[in-house]
């Protein structure tokens, strides 16, 4: 961004993440570009495994779960930045160079209307994309499967405008093609603002398939030629306008029949009654009809969409998270005794809490199972843990480290609690980096365990990484509150 280097210059991509990516204040230019997003980085598989707790099933955020051809995981880097990792199936992208070139080109884009691509990984058969993580679900979830409240008219108009602005930015930057634009490609950030996923700016795989949705929603020219064009993207935008208007996924042909018969009321979401004027509804229907023209050349471009949508906006001073009825990213969370202890760096209080907790969060992973016969190695491993527990209870932290290390190195059983106890023992022994490593390992084993995140916060405070520590503390509080709500 503004470095003056050529498109594929190494300085634009960064190196393997090592915690040196600077975080700066967000600054927007007239195109909505932001400079608080790290430069595009090529990650190792090992880094992304650690970030996603070994691609744990619990971290899958794809709408179709494990059976999706390309699975998306949530994750967290060492600097506490949350990420979304798209993992392609084995047969996708056999040409590593093609994958890297596509990813690097998309990685040049930086805009507040996009979920920005932070990097990629291309090792062996692995092809992974790394993007910003958006906390507040997809448009499909809020529009079709809402639980607390239907999306308000003002917010639906805002989604349409922000999406049009995202497409206009991409078009201006030479990335006018977007593959399979639909309600699952739009996600909401911490502030409740809608953003367009960067994943659709790349082909799904080597076969170049650009549409995976029902044929009833596919642009007619794509059915004829199998190729996506900028005009095809406008057709998909029209289907999204229908989604926003109706609150349902209505096939364009059926919607156009209703429009021709002037049966617009049937097309409109009954939940929106009284929220907009007939003129506003008619204008949105007219815009959708233009996007859905059979002849591609008769459809509008992104710039004209933005021009048409700006005057329709309502409640522009109301923040998106308020319109959406969702908790704001900066909202205060209840403070627990463990959270307070971490903030004060009261390691004695943390020790008391861990000692009282015992091993009940291990779900039997480290308990003595009643086998009739134990091998000598297993018995020795268990004895190491027992000795470590005695040392930990008596605050002999050096001895606890030695005994827990013997247990871990034995490799016969896995226990997040042992890693947590050794982490605190390292903190008590003034070894914060080792403590942080163990806290991360505990989270790899148990991705949503609040204790692991709290210990990361304590270790980061000890390392002098204040911002990262606060982020870990917030994550720990979220996990703890979710756990308490489900108890």
User: Which residues carry out catalysis?
Assistant: 180
**Buried b or exposed e, range 108-143, using 16+ CB within 10 angstroms:** bbbbbbbbbbbbbbbeeebbbbbbbbbbbbbbbbbb
Helices (H), 364-445: 376-393, 397-410, 416-428, 432-445
- Contact indicator for 135, 190 with CB cutoff of 8 Å: yes
Strand, coil or helix: what is 71? strand
Provide DSSP, 8-59: T-GGGT--S--S--------B-TT--BS-SPPPEE--HHHHHHHTTTT-GGG
Tell me if 112 sits within 8 A of 39, measured CB to CB: no
Q: Per the structure block, which two tokens stand in for 332?
A: 């205060």
Tokens of 361: 């969060």
Within 10 A of 302 (CB to CB), how many other CB atoms are there? 22
CB-based contacts of 478, cutoff 8 Å, min separation 6: 333
Residue 174 per-residue DSSP state: T
Angle, helix 450-462 to helix 432-445, in steps of 10 degrees: 160
Report whether 464 contacts 370 (CB < 8 A). no
Closest CA to 185 of 208, 214, 163, 216: 163
Tell me how far apart the alpha carbons of residues 79 and 35 are, in angstroms, rounded to a whole number. 18
């Amino acid at each position: 961004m503004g470095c003056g280097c050529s498109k594929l210059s190494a300085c634009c991509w960064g190196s393997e993440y090592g915690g040196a990516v600077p975080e700066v204040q967000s600054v927007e230019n007239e195109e909505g570009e932001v400079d608080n997003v790290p430069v595009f980085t090529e990650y190792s598989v090992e880094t992304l495994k650690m970030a996603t707790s070994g691609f744990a099933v619990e971290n899958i955020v794809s709408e179709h779960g494990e059976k999706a051809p390309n699975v998306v995981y949530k994750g967290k880097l060492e600097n506490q930045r949350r990420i979304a990792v798209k993992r392609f199936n084995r047969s996708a992208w056999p040409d590593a160079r093609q994958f890297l070139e596509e990813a690097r080109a998309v990685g040049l884009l930086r805009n507040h209307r996009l979920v920005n691509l932070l990097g990629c990984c291309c090792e062996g058969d692995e092809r992974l994309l790394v993007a910003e993580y958006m906390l507040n679900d997809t448009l499909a979830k809020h529009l079709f499967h809402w639980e607390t409240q239907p999306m308000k008219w003002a917010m639906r108009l805002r989604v349409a405008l922000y999406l049009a602005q995202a497409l206009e930015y991409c078009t201006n930057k030479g990335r006018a093609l977007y593959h399979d634009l639909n309600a699952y490609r739009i996600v909401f950030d911490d502030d409740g603002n809608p953003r367009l996923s960067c994943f659709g700016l790349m082909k799904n795989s080597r076969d170049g398939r650009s549409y995976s949705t029902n044929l009833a929603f596919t642009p007619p020219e794509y059915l004829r030629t199998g190729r996506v064009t900028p005009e095809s993207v406008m057709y998909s935008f029209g289907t999204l306008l229908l989604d926003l208007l109706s609150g349902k996924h209505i096939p364009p042909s059926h919607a156009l029949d209703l429009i021709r018969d002037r049966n617009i009321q049937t097309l409109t979401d009954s939940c929106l009654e009284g929220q907009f004027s007939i003129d506003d509804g008619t204008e949105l229907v007219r815009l959708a009809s233009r996007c859905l023209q059979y002849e591609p050349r008769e459809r509008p471009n992104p710039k004209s969409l933005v021009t048409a949508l700006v005057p329709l906006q309502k409640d522009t001073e109301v923040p998106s998270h308020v319109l959406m009825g969702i908790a704001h990213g900066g909202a205060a969370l209840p403070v627990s005794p463990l959270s307070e202890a971490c903030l004060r760096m009261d390691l004695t209080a943390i020790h008391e809490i861990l000692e009282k907790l015992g091993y009940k969060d291990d779900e039997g992973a480290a308990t003595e199972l009643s086998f009739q016969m134990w091998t000598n190695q297993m018995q020795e491993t268990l004895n190491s843990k027992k000795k470590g527990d005695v040392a930990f209870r008596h605050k002999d932290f050096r001895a606890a480290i030695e005994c827990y290390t013997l247990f871990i190195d034995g490799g016969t059983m896995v226990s997040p609690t042992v890693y947590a106890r050794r982490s605190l023992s390292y903190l008590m022994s003034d070894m914060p980096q080792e403590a942080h490593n163990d806290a991360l390992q505990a989270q790899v084993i148990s991705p949503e365990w609040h204790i692991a995140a709290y210990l990361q916060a304590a270790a980061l405070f000890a390392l002098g990484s204040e911002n990262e520590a606060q982020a870990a503390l917030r994550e720990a509080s979220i996990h703890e509150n979710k756990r308490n709500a489900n108890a």
